[in-house]
């Protein structure tokens, strides 16, 4: 029998939000709404879909390993040189490539507790040493991260806004942080939810900071509704990007993903509809939660994190909602066992979610005296 390395044996497979089809099979429900995975409730960008249709007859061809057409389109969109851009099959893939390319086994990689699970998965999978500091009021504590830097620290991961809390740090704090991090430590700034956070004036746009030791991640999964195609992009110093291409699998992103980007980047109307719907849905959720005494984080993304007194209540709430056809995300695996994440939805989905949550939470309050 092949010997399995200890660090591989200790790995826990990633557990995504429950698929709609799986819940339908299990419960026999007629109506199911999924607000668990921060997906765009409007569906995919229509202009992206149109470009996918055009590309279907080219599926017998390999995709362009250098991604010239989409790096050119992204370059024009953001006014950034092409040699500073590398796409891949989602932010998870980019994180894996960055860790693989720029660190050794056993190196210390620093971040926060209660952040994007994809970071922890990749650090552990690649047998690096994960160092974390606690959240402060469910948000990144940049001062604590700075204090945790040691001579062995090679990389720092920041998600802004943070997933799953939706909280953010702002320009002054981020700029002071950049000034204090040593130049030989690589900073990964994950901006998966920038579309929503950019509504806030003091939110720092990572693409405006020209630091040699900074890599910025963006995704097409949320803004443009292309989660099923897996497409992320990173921006950084040309030398970093050139070396990342050496670590990247050669024929990703797929041809259809690359085609979709060319349409998505022209779809400003879709982005505005997405922003507007998000504001309306989350406002309704906040009003309902305030009226019913349900605590939640100060999120500036497309989701809220509900905070319960303990893990048991969070699990009971999540399961009660699921059994009624509403799929939410219990975020114990992210490091917050008493948290449940809910993303924005269409008007109909928001109506349904409020109806289900009202029923489930009323039942929980009836059986338990909730104490925060």
Find all residues with CB under 8 Å of 358, minimum gap 6, and list them.
Answer: 288, 292
Closest Cα to residue 233, out of 91, 45, 79, 63?
91
pLDDT of residue 11: 64
In a domain, 1, yes or no: no
Which CATH number is 12's domain given? 3.90.1150.10
Provide the token pair at 180. 């204090």
310-322, pLDDT tens digit by residue? Answer: 999 999 999 999 9
pLDDT of residue 356: 97
Task: Write down the residue that tokens 């960008």 correspond to.
Answer: 45
Asked whether residue 20 falls in the same domain as residue 76, the answer is no
> What's the number of domains the chain is made of?
2
pLDDT exceeds 80 at position 156: yes
pLDDT exceeds 80 at position 252: yes
63 DSSP 8-state letter: P
Asked whether residue 283 falls in the same domain as residue 212, the answer is no
Provide the token pair at 30. 């007629």
pLDDT exceeds 80 at position 265: yes
pLDDT exceeds 60 at position 371: no
In a domain, 257, yes or no: yes
Asked whether residue 33 falls in the same domain as residue 114, the answer is no
pLDDT of residue 232: 96
pLDDT of residue 367: 72
Q: What separation in angstroms does the CA of 220 have from each of 161, 272, 303, 344?
A: 16, 15, 17, 17
Average pLDDT over residues 125-140: 96
Asked whether residue 66 falls in the same domain as residue 96, the answer is yes
Domain boundary among 207, 231, 264: 264
Asked whether residue 85 falls in the same domain as residue 125, the answer is yes
pLDDT of residue 52: 96
Asked whether residue 200 falls in the same domain as residue 98, the answer is yes
- Expressed as residue numbers, the domain containing 191 is 46-264
pLDDT exceeds 70 at position 28: no
Closest Cα to residue 153, out of 213, 122, 109, 204?
109
Domain boundary among 245, 264, 283: 264
Asked whether residue 136 falls in the same domain as residue 251, the answer is yes
Which CATH number is 199's domain given? 3.40.640.10
In a domain, 372, yes or no: no
Indicate the pLDDT class of residue 370, thresholds 50, 70 and 90.
Answer: low
Asked whether residue 203 falls in the same domain as residue 256, the answer is yes
Using CA atoms, how far apart are residues 28 and 48, in angstroms rounded to an integer? 34
Closest Cα to residue 133, out of 121, 118, 147?
147
In a domain, 181, yes or no: yes
């Amino acid at each position: 029998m092949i010997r399995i390395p200890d660090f591989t044996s200790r790995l826990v497979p990633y557990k995504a939000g429950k698929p709609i089809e799986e819940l339908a099979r299990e419960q026999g429900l007629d109506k199911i709404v999924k607000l668990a995975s921060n997906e765009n409730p409007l569906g995919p960008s229509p202009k992206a879909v149109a470009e996918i249709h055009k590309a279907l007859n080219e599926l017998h061809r390999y995709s362009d390993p250098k991604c010239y057409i989409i790096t050119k389109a992204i370059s024009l969109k953001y006014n950034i040189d092409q040699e500073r851009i590398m796409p891949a099959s989602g932010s998870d893939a980019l994180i894996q490539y960055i860790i693989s390319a720029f660190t050794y086994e056993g190196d210390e990689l620093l971040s926060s507790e209660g952040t994007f699970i994809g970071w922890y998965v990749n650090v552990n999978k690649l047998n690096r040493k994960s160092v974390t500091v606690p959240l402060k009021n469910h948000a990144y504590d940049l001062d604590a991260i700075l204090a945790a830097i040691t001579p062995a620290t090679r990389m720092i991961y920041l998600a802004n806004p943070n997933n799953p809390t939706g909280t953010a740090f702002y320009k002054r704090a981020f700029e002071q942080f950049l000034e204090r991090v040593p130049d030989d430590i690589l900073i990964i700034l994950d901006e998966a939810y920038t579309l929503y956070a950019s509504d806030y004036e003091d939110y720092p746009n990572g693409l405006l900071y020209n630091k040699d030791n900074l890599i910025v991640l963006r995704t097409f999964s949320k803004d443009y509704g292309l989660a099923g195609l897996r497409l992320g992009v990173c921006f950084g110093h040309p030398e970093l990007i050139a070396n990342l291409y050496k670590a990247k699998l050669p024929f990703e992103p797929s041809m259809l993903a690359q085609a979709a980007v060319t349409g998505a980047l022209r779809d400003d109307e879709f982005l505005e509809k997405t922003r507007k719907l998000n504001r309306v849905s989350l406002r309704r959720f906040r009003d309902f939660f305030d009226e019913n005494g349900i605590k939640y984080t100060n999120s500036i993304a497309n989701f809220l994190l509900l905070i319960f007194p303990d893990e048991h209540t969070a699990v009971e709430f999540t399961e009660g909602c699921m059994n009624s056809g509403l799929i939410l995300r219990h975020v114990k695996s992210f490091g917050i066992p008493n948290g449940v994440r809910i993303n924005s939805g269409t008007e109909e989905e928001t109506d349904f979610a409020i109806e289900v949550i009202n029923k489930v939470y009323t039942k929980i309050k009836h059986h338990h005296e909730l104490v925060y």
